[in-house]
């Protein structure tokens, strides 16, 4: 009389086989270790600081424009009140976050914008102009400033604006400066001219609360390193798709599944074992990455583990689709990219934040990326994440069910 083999023993036997095959595949084992080292190294090499200062250059210096403006206004016998307004102009450029670099003439400004001259700022706030082609070395106790945009005024710009006379202002910008930044500088000049002339702006500005959409991050910007933290975990889970897909594909091509079916194993044993192996592989590596980059805290670790579990389940389902094709390595890679490239799009929407398009929000990977970003960066709690968790769980279940269906049909057809 044959002894009945329990389901648990069958599952463990298949899992041991999968682990042994995975450990013997030097390519995927090497890529797994390399990915962990590479992503962790990239994370700690990326700068964790954010430069919130706006630096721009002007010519001539403010002191010259103010002094000559006063002389011109005094020659027109204007009231002393208007002269006092010129003294307030300089304080407008002394706001926090604004760095003004003043040049004696327009030629120096052009050379600084074009990169022919270098500008350094000392700890005392002094600006030093350095010629890189000269013999003199740059100062050791100063930091280099990159000037991308500058404005050349006439020396009587302030008085001309207050007297209602025409004055020319030239804006110099590096070719890499976006068009919207150039437009902002031109708008700043027009606004200054209107205010100095004593006229209201020809537009009606909304309240500040109507301008800022979402959370105001002024003074609390997110560094590139912090933005990389959730994306690294996401990419690790995504990359493990190829490992599981390769394992399934080899068993399909080599008819290993057919040999297993003649044993007490059933198809559902095979499917469940692949689900456990793929999910555990992606979950384990994502958890290791999150630990190494310092993402886990005493408050967020249960929520973060649930998010990673949902993401691992989602990519395990994708691996079932890819592995069911039973193609060679190149064919599997091309077929896999067909699935994975669309799933990568939400990660770039998070890395470069803005208004996310509706079609991006409906992609299966969007709620996973959104949750990783909110929990690791904005410290979102369970109450803030319920809707996104439901969205992610729904997509994971739908894709997992479809992946199981496709793989089951493939196995049954062998």
Q: Domain count for the chain, please give it.
A: 2
Statement to judge: residues 62 and 36 lie in one domain: no
Helices (H) and strands (E) in the chain, counts: 16, 7
- Whether 217 is covered by a domain: the verdict is no
Q: Are residues 240 and 351 in the same domain?
A: yes
91-112 mean pLDDT: 74
> Which residue would you say has higher pLDDT here, 234 or 219?
234
What pLDDT, on the 0 to 100 scale, is given for residue 243? 83
**One domain, residues 251 and 395:** yes
In a domain, 194, yes or no: yes
153 and 285 co-located in one domain: no
Q: Are residues 38 and 70 in the same domain?
A: no
Overall pTM surpassing 0.75 (yes/no): no
Q: How confident is the model at residue 87 (pLDDT cuts 50, 70, 90)?
A: low
User: Are the beta carbons of 231 and 310 closer than 8 angstroms?
Assistant: no
What is residue 387's predicted lDDT score, i.e. its pLDDT? 92
Nearest to 138 by CA among 125, 113, 150, 121: 121
d(CA 258, CA 271): 14
Domain assignment of residue 2, yes or no = no
Q: Are residues 356 and 406 in the same domain?
A: yes
Same domain, 58 and 43: no
Last residue of a domain, one of 181, 211, 241: 211
Q: How many Cβ atoms from other residues are within 10 Å of residue 77's Cβ?
A: 6
Is-contact 350 229, C-beta < 8 A? no
Same domain, 378 and 295: yes
The answer to whether 387 touches 361, Cβ cutoff 8 Å, is no
109 and 140 inside one domain: yes
41 domain-assigned: yes
Which domain-ending residue is among 211, 235, 269? 211
pLDDT band at residue 210, thresholds of 50, 70 and 90?
very low
Q: How far is CA 353 from CA 119, 166, 221, in A?
A: 31, 41, 12
24 and 85, same domain (yes or no) = no
Nearest CA-CA partner of 411 in 248, 243, 241, 240: 248
Q: What is the pLDDT of residue 402?
A: 87
Residue 279 sits in the same domain as residue 204: no
**pLDDT of residue 184 exceeding 60:** yes
Q: Three-state SS string across 178-213, please? A: CHHHHHHHHHHHHHHHHHHCCCCCCCCCCCHHHHCC
Query: What mean pLDDT do residues 319-333 have?
Result: 76
What is the per-residue pLDDT for 309?
A: 94
The boundaries of the domain holding residue 124 are: 54-211
d(CA 58, CA 96): 18
E strands, 103-179, in order: 118-122, 127-130, 142-145, 149-152, 170-173
The pLDDT score that the predictor gives to residue 204 is 55
Same domain, 334 and 394: yes
């Amino acid at each position: 009389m044959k002894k009945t083999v329990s389901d648990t023993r069958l599952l463990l036997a298949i899992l041991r086989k999968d682990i042994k095959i995975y450990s013997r595949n030097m390519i995927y084992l090497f890529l797994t270790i390399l990915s962990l080292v590479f992503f962790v190294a990239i994370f700690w090499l990326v700068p964790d600081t954010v430069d919130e200062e706006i630096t721009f250059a002007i010519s001539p210096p403010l002191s010259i424009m103010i002094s000559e403006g006063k002389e011109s206004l005094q020659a027109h016998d204007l009231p002393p009140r208007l002269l006092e307004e010129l003294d307030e102009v300089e304080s407008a450029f002394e706001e926090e976050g604004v760095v003004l670099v003043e040049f004696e003439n327009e030629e120096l400004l052009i050379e600084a914008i074009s990169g022919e001259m270098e500008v350094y700022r000392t700890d005392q706030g002094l600006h030093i102009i350095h010629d890189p082609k000269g013999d003199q070395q740059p100062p050791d106790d100063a930091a280099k400033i990159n000037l991308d945009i500058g404005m050349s005024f006439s020396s009587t710009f302030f008085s001309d604006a207050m007297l209602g006379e025409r004055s020319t202002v030239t804006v110099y910008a590096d070719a890499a400066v976006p068009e919207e930044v150039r437009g902002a500088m031109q708008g700043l000049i027009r606004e200054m001219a209107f205010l100095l002339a004593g006229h209201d702006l020809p537009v009606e500005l909304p309240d500040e609360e109507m301008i800022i959409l979402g959370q105001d991050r002024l003074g609390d910007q997110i560094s590139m390193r912090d933005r990389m933290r959730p994306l690294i975990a996401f990419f690790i889970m995504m990359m493990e798709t190829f490992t599981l897909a390769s394992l399934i594909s080899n068993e399909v091509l080599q008819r290993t599944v057919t040999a297993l079916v003649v044993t007490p194993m059933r198809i559902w044993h095979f499917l469940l074992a692949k689900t456990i192996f793929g999910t555990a592989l992606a979950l384990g590596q994502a958890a290791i990455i999150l630990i190494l980059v310092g993402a886990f805290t005493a408050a967020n670790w249960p929520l973060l583990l649930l998010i990673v579990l949902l993401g691992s389940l989602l990519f395990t389902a994708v691996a079932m689709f890819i592995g069911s094709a039973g193609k060679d390595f190149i064919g599997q890679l091309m077929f896999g990219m067909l699935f994975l490239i669309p799933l990568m799009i939400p990660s770039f929407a998070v890395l470069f934040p803005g208004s996310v398009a509706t079609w991006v929000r409906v992609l299966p990977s969007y709620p996973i990326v959104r949750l990783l970003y909110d929990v690791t960066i904005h410290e979102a709690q369970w109450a803030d994440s319920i809707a996104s968790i439901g969205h992610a769980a729904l997509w994971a279940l739908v894709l997992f069910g479809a992946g199981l269906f496709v793989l089951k049909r493939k196995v049954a057809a062998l």
